[in-house]
Amino acid sequence: MLSQIRPALVTLAALTLVTGLAYPLLVTGIAQAAFPHQANGSLVLKDGKPIGSTLIGQSFDDPKYFWGRLSATTDSNGKALPYNGGSSVASNLGPNNPALIDEVKGRVDALLAADPDNQAPIPVDLVTSSGSGLDPDISPAAAQYQVHRVAKARGLDDARVKALVQAHVEGRQLGILGEDRVNVLELNLALDEIK
Amino acid sequence: MNWQGYAQIIVFLAVLVASVKPLGAYMARVYEGEPIILEKGLGWLERLIYRLAGVSRDPEQREMPWTTYAVAMVIFNGTGILLVYAVQRLQGFLPLNPQGFAAPTPDLSWNTAVSFATNTNWQSYGGETTMSNFTQMTALAVQNFVCAASGMAVMIALVRGIARKTTSTLGNFWVDLTRSTLYILLPLTVVWAVIFVSQGVVQTFGAYPSVGLLQATKDADGHAVTDQVIALGPAASQIAIKMLGTNGGGFFNANGAHPFENPTPLSNFFNIYGLLLIPAALTYTFGKMVKDTRQGWTILATMFVVFLPLLALCVSQEQAGNPALASLHVDQVASALHAGGNMEGKEVRFGISATGLFASATTGASCGAVNAMHDSFTPLGGLVPLWLIQLGEIVFGGVGSGMYGILMFAIVAVFVAGLMVGRTPEYLGKKIEAREMKMASLAILFPAATILVFTAIAVVTESGKKGVFNPGPHGFSEVLYAFSSATGNNGSAFGGLGANTPFYNTALGIAMFFGRYFIKVPVLALAGGLAAKKLVPAGAGTLPTHTPLFVTMLVGTIVVVGALTFIPSLALGPIVEHLLAKS
């Protein structure tokens, strides 16, 4: 029994050096050399300053912007702070939890209040919260649902905004993987570019 | 579901099956000590480790009986637990801590140490708000490698026990551990990590940057919020081994739902592929080492027969959506423009199909990574991952642990078949007698008892009930899921459960410990016994174990044991919740 202590200590120390230091440093070296943009958080620059990451959603509730998914993230005191990129978390609400029904109702009401003309049923991703609380995307259906509101708030043609949404639909990878989606931050940045 | 949703599942399964033979054959070479190309680059390191550790270079001399093999494994894992505990408690004094995180509490540190050393990766903490880069790399990720490797070692010892005859030894634990790490896990993780970074997984040591928001908002107290803090870290290297070692512990709190941990559908594909790759390929390694590859394919076929219907149930339930939202002016029907279905706790880029596949794979294996929150699944959609864990994580199982787990069921299946015809059962030429049955039963029944007894304790004590988040039967499911996950060394959760309390940290830590070692030690004891036996030549009365008939019997054994043990508890949770929602 005692004779196994030395190999235990030596193997653990050696494999810690290999897999706990050499390996992550090697990967960091490759990552920073080959994919520096991705490895450092896919940050978006505007006038030289970072204004977000294409992979991390931001909170939008102004009618002139497209809104993203609901987010259950909080600040360090546990108070609601949607899209807190420093602390990912989901609502974890069960399908029959009354709090989930309230959350969905609240969002449906807010969307209807912002655009009373629009009586179409609301795509489900727009009224539910994401797994990370940081989902950067909405479905093309959820983007199209908001076209009229955004166009009206900006005094633009619906058709022009709709075309912009179409141009921002990111297709499935390799034609079959995942789902079609629209990156909310990129779409809103493009909206602000329209003069 | 769109046709692409079906197509991605079919393509995934095809790629997985196509990988089984090449990787399985390679792993057999690694374990049988045949020359492999990587020894040219890493052989010096392997030999250096043996020299410092005092492991003989002579393959005959370093052979271990099962008792020594088990002692070596337990001491190694125990040392690992101590190291992970110590690193966490000293975190405040150690380097690579750009956010200045203090040490986690003692009960949380204990829970995390056991969790990572037992391949569970249950996490009562959020990574980006608790653990420094140093802790993540040198404590947590190292255990991801070595506890996976020790699971593979135990499985290989069992296979040797079956393949050898009239001997007392099963190989050398230190050699199996080192070769698993250096020649199987390490090269694969480098490839996976680079693929992940290319998709957007972060890999950096800097502090969390703060960026200006496009639209300023207000916080709960009405103060203006103009910036967003973005958590970063050396995530890609850790996520590669998290999947390939079927560990599942996230770098970030949201695990594989976090856009920096799993940014694209392609990274998601490699997550699922990584987690099932080694467990599936080990079936071929097994066949190769017992010199009858049909035996391995039979085991793989059995896994698919159990997996596919459960996958279909999970995906179809999630796609059907949440009936409670039906009256709320919400569109849950899939169309060309959206995935529809039950999207609470899911990410748009994965939709329903890629999420259901992930959830079924991660719990069929003992991985426990998630790309969506299982707590928010529909009742029956959530039953699938729960029951897959309870079946013993044998389709396809953890690296090593899935294979030795399903071999326990194979032994029970041949025993049951032997009872039917009144003949002493055999498996691969070895007589299955009282001792083998005792060990196999222990390995199957002990975890089941752990799950049920701990769940019962939790739901009748105040400290257990306090952690429940969702009301009604769903709250019971949260507790049942937690102890199933811990005992099964899975690590996924119905995450609403408030588990970072002394009660749950301690109880779940004990459950993880039981679930790992009360299977591994009986498995090794059984392996030692089998190795000592003579080979019985197959006769006219021998049940062939490579036929569709045997697949049927093995599936039957797995499903009957799993159903009889757990349906009463499932009836109290997801099943009654489903019926209540219908009424």
CA distance between the termini of chain B: 26
Contact B171, B66 (CB under 8 A): no
pLDDT in tens, A92-127: 999 999 999 999 999 999 999 999 989 999 999 999
Cβ contact, residue pair B220, A79, below 8 Å: yes
Beta strands in A66-151 (DSSP E): 122-123, 137-138
pLDDT for the residue B219: 86
Cβ contact, residue pair B346, A130, below 8 Å: yes
% of chain B with per-residue pLDDT over 70: 100
Q: Is the pLDDT of residue B427 over 90?
A: yes
Q: Look over chain B and give the mean of its residue pLDDT values, rounded to a whole number.
A: 95
Secondary element (H or E) of residue B44: helix B39-53
Cβ contact, residue pair B348, A134, below 8 Å: no
Confidence of residue B218 (pLDDT cuts 50, 70, 90): confident
pLDDT in tens, B368-419: 999 999 999 999 999 999 999 999 989 899 999 999 999 999 999 999 999 9
pLDDT for the residue A157: 95
Q: Is the pLDDT of residue A195 over 90?
A: no
pLDDT in tens, B534-575: 999 888 888 999 999 999 999 999 999 999 999 999 999 999
pLDDT in tens, B52-72: 999 998 999 999 999 999 999
Residues 8-37, chain B, touching A (beta carbon < 8 A): 8, 11
pLDDT for the residue B539: 83
Confidence of residue B272 (pLDDT cuts 50, 70, 90): very high
- Pick the closest to residue B265 from B328, B358, B160 (CA basis): B358
Contact B187, B170 (CB under 8 A): no
A166 touching chain B per CB within 8 A: no
pLDDT for the residue A61: 94
Residues 268-297, chain B, touching A (beta carbon < 8 A): 268-269
% of chain A with per-residue pLDDT over 70: 99
Confidence of residue B23 (pLDDT cuts 50, 70, 90): very high
Q: Is the pLDDT of residue B347 over 80?
A: yes
Cβ contact, residue pair B258, A88, below 8 Å: yes
What are the two backbone dihedrals, phi and then psi, of residue B220, each rounded to the nearest 5 degrees? -60, -25
pLDDT in tens, A142-171: 999 999 999 999 999 999 999 999 999 999
Question: What's at B233, amino acid-wise?
Answer: G
Is the dihedral angle over the CA atoms A164, A165, A166, A168 positive or is it negative? positive
pLDDT for the residue B542: 87
pLDDT for the residue A152: 96
* Residue B268, number of CB atoms within 10 A of its CB: 25
Tell me B184's DSSP state: I
Q: Is the pLDDT of residue B273 over 80?
A: yes
Contact A50, B213 (CB under 8 A): no
Q: How far is the CA of A78 from the CAs of A84, B75, B210, B219, in angstroms?
A: 11, 41, 20, 11
Mean pLDDT value of segment B96-111: 93
The CA distance from A31 to A28, in Å, is: 5
Q: Which residues of A touch B331 (CB under 8 A)?
A: 120-124, 141
Residue from A67, A107, A112, A130 to probe the interface with B (highest B Cβ count within 10 Å): A130
Cβ contact, residue pair A92, B322, below 8 Å: no
pLDDT in tens, B308-320: 999 999 999 999 9
Q: Is the pLDDT of residue B157 over 80?
A: yes
Contact A96, A121 (CB under 8 A): no
Q: Look over chain A and give the mean of its residue pLDDT values, rounded to a whole number.
A: 95
Phi and psi based region of residue B255 (left: phi greater than 0; alpha: psi -120 to 50; beta: remaining)? left
Strand partners, B331: A123
Question: What's at B551, amino acid-wise?
Answer: V
pLDDT for the residue B220: 85
Confidence of residue B422 (pLDDT cuts 50, 70, 90): confident
3-state secondary structure of B210: strand
Residues 484-503, chain B, touching A (beta carbon < 8 A): 494-496
pLDDT for the residue A2: 80
pLDDT for the residue B296: 97
pLDDT in tens, B112-139: 999 999 999 999 999 999 999 999 999 9
Confidence of residue B349 (pLDDT cuts 50, 70, 90): very high
pLDDT for the residue A60: 96
pLDDT for the residue A48: 85
The CA distance from B120 to B515, in Å, is: 9
Residue from B344, B470, B492, B524 to probe the interface with A (highest A Cβ count within 10 Å): B344
Mean pLDDT value of segment A176-193: 96
